[in-house]
Amino acid sequence: MDIKVICTDENYYFRLGISKIIEEALLLGGSVAFLSGFDSENLRKADIILVSVSQWRLFMCQPAYRFRKPGSILLVFVNHIENIISDQLPVCYQSLTLLSRSDAVRSIRDKITKAWLIARDQKTNAFAPTDCMRCNYARISLIQLQVMSFLKSGCSVNQTAKSLGLSVKTIYAHKYNVMRKFDLKGDCDFYSFLSDLSLLDLYKGVIGGKENFRREKYIIPCHQQS
């Protein structure tokens, strides 16, 4: 039996290493086959979704996960496991298994085995589109989108305030709220966040009504609406 995996990390050596660990963890007598592309079609096929991205992205909802195959497992590599409480994440990430990049191979293997066994037992309780409706995460507002767009383009806080006709204090408030939403600690994290995030990602996060869920639009969530 081949184990179908979606992996966000394209590094050849990472994929080679994790594939061997997965094969040892599951003992299914098959090999790992990496699917090309993170889309609904592959999510319906994948046995394992392996995410290795900037930690703040865990605070962004992933509506595409509604297409996950029942019984599939979500593995996420992070730098600091102790900083993440799964119940505080969007619904689509609450079933994740956290793996530290500093974990020993044996520890990673054991976590994968445990996640696989739990997923087999709970196969009928797959993530569903209606789960989004009960998610407590709000979305980034239009004014926050505008502020982030100016700051990302290299404008200072003063320039951004002048361009938007707002006070400097208001710009700082919006900046702070975005940092709080994505658990960013200080300016270094904030500007790394802006650098890593495309304006299209921000644009897709503009606030809308509940109807956006029915239209399956991509949203950027937060701890609470600001």
Measured CA to CA, the distance from residue 183 to residue 223 in angstroms comes to 9
Residue 48 dihedral angles phi and psi, to the nearest 5°: -135, 135
The answer on 151 and 127 residing in a single domain is no
- Which residues constitute the domain of residue 146? 138-222
The answer on 169 and 112 residing in a single domain is no
**Higher per-residue pLDDT: 143 or 202:** 143
The answer on 122 and 58 residing in a single domain is yes
The answer on 11 and 102 residing in a single domain is yes
Domains in the chain: how many in total? 2
Which pLDDT score, from 0 to 100, does residue 63 have? 61
Domain boundary among 134, 149, 172: 134
The answer on 82 and 62 residing in a single domain is yes
pTM above 0.85, yes or no: no
- At residue 81 the predicted structure's pLDDT band, cuts being 50, 70 and 90, is confident
Residues paired with residue 34 on neighbouring β-strands, in sequence order: 5
The answer on 158 and 109 residing in a single domain is no
Q: Are 82 and 55 in contact (CB under 8 A)?
A: no
The answer on 156 and 112 residing in a single domain is no
Calculate mean pLDDT across residues 192-216. 52
Which pLDDT score, from 0 to 100, does residue 86 have? 72
The answer on 158 and 54 residing in a single domain is no
CATH code assigned at 41: 3.40.50.2300
**Does the pLDDT of residue 5 top 90, yes or no?**
yes
The answer on 143 and 130 residing in a single domain is no
Cα 216-43-115 angle, rounded to 5 deg: 115
**Does the pLDDT of residue 157 top 60, yes or no?**
yes
The answer on 27 and 84 residing in a single domain is yes
The answer on 144 and 128 residing in a single domain is no
Pair of tokens at residue 81 = 């496991």
CATH code assigned at 209: 1.10.10.10
Q: Is the dihedral of CA 203, 175, 208, 193 positive or negative?
A: positive
Q: Are 5 and 46 in contact (CB under 8 A)?
A: yes
Which pLDDT score, from 0 to 100, does residue 204 have? 53
**Does the pLDDT of residue 82 top 90, yes or no?**
no
The answer on 157 and 121 residing in a single domain is no
- At residue 15 the predicted structure's pLDDT band, cuts being 50, 70 and 90, is very high
